């Protein structure tokens, strides 16, 4: 039988390992990323920008873009995918802030709330919000352009920490009542995992999912038998790559050069064709 001190030692080692691993989501050094690696945070699934292919690898437009940036910096690329029911898209900015990743490539819209905490590259993609429904849904908007009034009495599901959530908060006031933003009400379900959003939508737990239109189209393409995009909310968003506030690693000049050169050379259109065919 083990002595009490020995058992205590084993327990404290286990606790230390658990803490080290959970901290690994937030700090780069604890996972031992070498200096010659650009660690890029993303959040799957968000097709076609980032999603897992059949082999389980994270691929997509954003990942190719991140690879171009890593190449230009002469660094290896490591993708850190923050996705799941607990740590999701909304953990990306805090993780960047604490140095857990060097850059975010996650279809992240440039906006003033975020620029208080992070710096963005020049824009690389334009998007609106989309309304994803079950294929047999009767939900519709005139000419596919939806307004707040069309969503009255409709049960909505959104991803936490996104501009979809901000749209709901500013356009359907009173709907989001939970301060932690994780409670479902009669009108809304808020979760951090887009896989779960699609599952709940298909199961009829919500009538519509509000998410970026290109990703809504991406999901509809993956499950054309059961999903369709019923309309859009005009939000005029632009995606940027994201670095720490003040750009302490001086990445932005190269990132912006890469985006400019991709667009100038026609390589950008090739990537669009590759991922959006
Ligand atoms: N563009 C939206 C935003 O910035 C949604 C992005 C979601 N991205 C993702 N990888 N899940 O809030």
pLDDT in tens, 238-276: 999 999 999 999 999 999 999 999 999 999 999 999 999
Provide the 3-class DSSP secondary structure of residue 136.
Answer: coil
Strands (E), 107-239: 118-120, 125-134, 156-159, 188-191, 208-212, 227-239
- Of 19-33, 45-59, 219-233, the poorest mean pLDDT is in 19-33
Please determine whether the domains at 6-125+238-276 and 128-237 fall in the same fold group of CATH: yes
Is residue 83 within 6 Å of ligand 1 at its C-beta? no
What separation in Å is there between the alpha carbon of 2 and the centre of ligand 1? Answer: 51
Q: Looking at residue 13, what is its pLDDT? A: 39
Nearest CA to ligand 1 atom 12: 162
Per-residue pLDDT tens digits for 87-97:
999 999 999 99
Quote the ligand 1 centre to 141 CA distance (angstroms). Answer: 23
Using the predicted structure, report yes or no on whether residue 9 has a pLDDT greater than 70: no
Task: Count other C-beta atoms under 10 Å from residue 135's C-beta.
Answer: 13
How is the chain split into domains, by residue range?
Answer: 6-125+238-276, 128-237
Number of H helices, E strands in the chain: 9, 12
* Nearest alpha-carbon partner for 241 in 122, 72, 96: 122
The percent of residues in the chain predicted with pLDDT above 70, rounded, is 87
CB 120 within 8 A of CB 209: no
Residue 106, SS3 per DSSP: coil
Q: Tell me what pLDDT residue 180 has.
A: 72
Q: What is the pLDDT of residues 88-147, one digit of tens each?
A: 999 999 999 999 999 999 999 999 999 999 999 999 999 999 999 999 999 999 999 999
Whole-angstrom Cα distance, residue 149 to residue 65?
A: 37
Between CA 89 and CA 44 the distance in angstroms is 8
pLDDT averaged over every residue in the chain: 89
Listed residue (186, 191, 192, 158) closest to 174, CA to CA: 186
Fold annotation for 128-237: D-Maltodextrin-Binding Protein; domain 2 (3.40.190)
Residue-level pLDDT at 35: 84
43 lines ligand 1 (CB under 6 A): yes
Ligand 1 center–CA 102 separation, angstroms? 18
pLDDT (tens digit, 9 = 90+) per residue, 50-75?
Answer: 999 999 999 999 999 999 999 999 99
Q: Ligand 1 centroid vs 240 CA: distance in angstroms? A: 11
Considering the domain 6-125+238-276 in this protein, what is its CATH number?
3.40.190.10
Cβ of residue 107 lying under 6 Å from some atom of ligand 1: yes
């Amino acid at each position: 039988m083990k002595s009490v001190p020995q058992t205590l030692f084993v327990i404290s080692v286990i606790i230390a390992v658990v803490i080290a691993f959970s901290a690994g989501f937030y700090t780069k050094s604890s996972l031992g990323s070498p200096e010659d690696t650009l660690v890029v945070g993303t959040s799957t699934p968000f097709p076609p920008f980032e999603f897992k292919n059949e082999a389980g690898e994270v691929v997509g437009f954003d990942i190719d873009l991140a690879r171009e940036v890593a190449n230009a910096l002469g660094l290896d690329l490591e993708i850190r995918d923050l996705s799941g029911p607990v740590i999701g898209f909304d953990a990306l900015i805090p993780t960047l802030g604490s140095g857990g990743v060097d850059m975010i490539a996650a279809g992240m819209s440039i906006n003033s709330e975020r620029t208080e905490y992070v710096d963005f590259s020049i824009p690389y993609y334009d998007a609106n919000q989309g309304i994803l429904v079950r294929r047999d849904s009767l939900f519709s908007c005139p000419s596919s352009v939806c307004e707040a009034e069309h969503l009255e009495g409709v049960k909505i599901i959104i991803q936490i920490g996104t501009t979809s959530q901000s749209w709901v908060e500013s356009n359907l006031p009173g709907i989001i009542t939970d301060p932690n933003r994780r409670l479902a009400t009669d009108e809304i379900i808020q979760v951090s995992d887009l896989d779960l959003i699609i599952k709940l939508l298909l199961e009829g737990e919500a009538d519509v999912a509000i998410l970026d239109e290109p990703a809504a189209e991406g999901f509809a393409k993956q499950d054309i038998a059961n999903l369709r995009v019923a309309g859009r909310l005009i939000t005029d968003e632009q995606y940027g790559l994201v670095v720490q506030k003040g750009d302490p690693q001086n990445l932005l000049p190269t990132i912006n050069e890469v985006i400019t050169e991709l667009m100038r050379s026609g390589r950008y259109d090739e990537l669009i064709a590759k991922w959006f065919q």
